[in-house]
Amino acid sequence: TQLLEQSPQFLSIQEGENLTVYCNSSSVFSSLQWYRQEPGEGPVLLVTVVTGGEVKKLKRLTFQFGDARKDSSLHITAAQPGDTGLYLCAGVPIKAAGNKLTFGGGTRVLVKP
Amino acid sequence: DTEVTQTPKHLVMGMTNKKSLKCEQHMGHRAMYWYKQKAKKPPELMFVYSYEKLSINESVPSRFSPECPNSSLLNLHLHALQPEDSALYLCASSPTGLAGNPDTQYFGPGTRLTVL
């Protein structure tokens, strides 16, 4: 069992539709990051959420951090083909030693024109 | 500027070769990281340097040897690699690398390594 469970693993939608990716854990995190990664490239940071209950918006992307800081979600409104990629949530459990980042398994998103 | 640079972009090497991967950041970050990523998997941590000292080694085989000449540079020396070491190698940096505080990691574009 992974410390951070991401769902779904794969999502294929048409341009203009909405989608939500979930990142869940039984552990408390001091913060969670969301990254988007394209094939052969490094993960690009989208957002860091820090405060329980926090909601952050980045254009058509809305990120939420659960009140207990154990889960997070990413919602994309009116998805575009440019949103295609691998979405990764990652964070450091509050009881971890050092800054060892734990990753979710990733969600592969395909937005068809 | 939130840029981490890595060279080379691609590397093909034989099992007897010695090569090095390089990483650089100018964000004033004091922690730098090496990750290995296989296809369709999330990155796996290899090493962490915090304030130029090796703070985490995730039981990585000795054919991988990290080096942190200063707080802006990170190298990964490769020697006698195996074909199964072929992967995308990612460098990252963060402000401190210390536990207890949110310490966002920024990734470089990666080096695609192929071992023949």
| Calpha distance A12→A85 (Å, rounded) | 11
CB contact under 8 A, B103 and A40: no
Digit-coded pLDDT (tens) for B78-96: 999 999 999 999 999 999 8
Q: Judge whether residue B111 has pLDDT over 80.
A: yes
Amino acid B2: pLDDT: 67
Q: Judge whether residue A99 has pLDDT over 90.
A: no
Instruction: Judge whether B79 and B63 are in contact, CB under 8 Å.
Output: yes
Tell me if chain B has a CB within 8 Å of the CB of A43: yes
Phi, psi of A5 (to 5 degrees): -100, 120
Q: If we measure between CA atoms, which residue out of B18, B2, B25, B15 comes closest to residue B91?
A: B25
Instruction: Judge whether A61 and A23 are in contact, CB under 8 Å.
Output: no
Q: B-chain residues within 8 Å CB-CB of A31?
A: 102, 104
Q: B-chain residues within 8 Å CB-CB of A41?
A: 109-110
